[in-house]
A and B are shown apart, each in its own frame.
Chain A
Amino acid sequence: DVKVTQSSRYLVKRTGEKVFLECVQDMDHENMFWYRQDPGLGLRLIYFSYDVKMKEKGDIPEGYSVSREKKERFSLILESASTNQTSMYLCASSADEAFFGQGTRLTVV
């Protein structure tokens, strides 16, 4: 079975903290993605990566950065967390078919 694993299911952080969300896949996929999901707004692409050390901005990259030092791991970084970044964050990886992590519900207080 393909596995995409996100490091945390629930996370509570304080405003201004640096936050790391980790995603690991075990299928040697080239492509990895980070989305956030908010009620009524669907799944919005933050960043994606098509190879190690390669990254592309998605539709809402402001306030976020990413790191892909190894093929299996794609990290989303909130440089200085703010309350408007409270959301569900979803990671995906793909070759052809995409597979999804279980999601991380981040609350910034």
Chain B
Amino acid sequence: GIQVEQSPPDLILQEGANSTLRCNFSDSVNNLQWSHQNPWGQLINLFYIPSGTKQNGRLSATTVATERYSLLYISSSQTTDSGVYFCATQTSGSRLTFGEGTQLTVNP
């Protein structure tokens, strides 16, 4: 099956810093999304982005499907950005595959 790799696994920032999270996938995908897991375990969708670029406030994402990667940009980070960021993709055959996640800690 498809392999999804995220980097870095851990990231520690000072409030106000910018960061880039990466997601590589091993095969062509039909869709790709980024989600944030808060400290209570709830996964909240950030972007559904099988290709192209999207922006939502301080967050933006770009997927280059032909090169099999996606990037999540966080600008002017805040302590509330802390948590685990997952990318996930669903190939034909319906299986939803997650990366291992990036644990982000933003210190005040």
Q: How large is the interface on B (under 10, 10 to 19, 20 to 34, 35 or more residues)?
A: 20 to 34
Residue from the set B35, B50, B90, B101 with the largest chain A CB neighbour count within 10 Å: B90
Which one of B40, B43, B95, B98 lies within 8 Å of A48 (CB-CB)?
B95
Which one of B30, B97, B101 lies within 8 Å of A96 (CB-CB)?
B30
Contact between chains at B98 and A42 (CB < 8 Å)? yes
Docked complex Cα distance between A56 and B94 (Å):
10
Asked whether A48 and B96 contact (CB < 8 A) given A94-B90, A97-B48, A100-B35, the answer is: yes
Sample of 17 A–B contacts (CB below 8 Å): A30-B94, A42-B99, A43-B101, A45-B95, A48-B94, A56-B94, A90-B43, A92-B96, A96-B48, A97-B48, A98-B45, A98-B90, A100-B42, A100-B43, A103-B41, A103-B43, A105-B41
| Residue ranges of A at the interface with B (Cβ–Cβ < 8 Å) | 30-31, 33, 35, 37, 42-43, 45, 48, 50, 56, 58, 88, 90, 92, 94, 96-100, 102-103, 105
Q: Which 4 A-B pairs have the closest CB atoms?
A: A100-B43, A97-B48, A103-B41, A50-B94
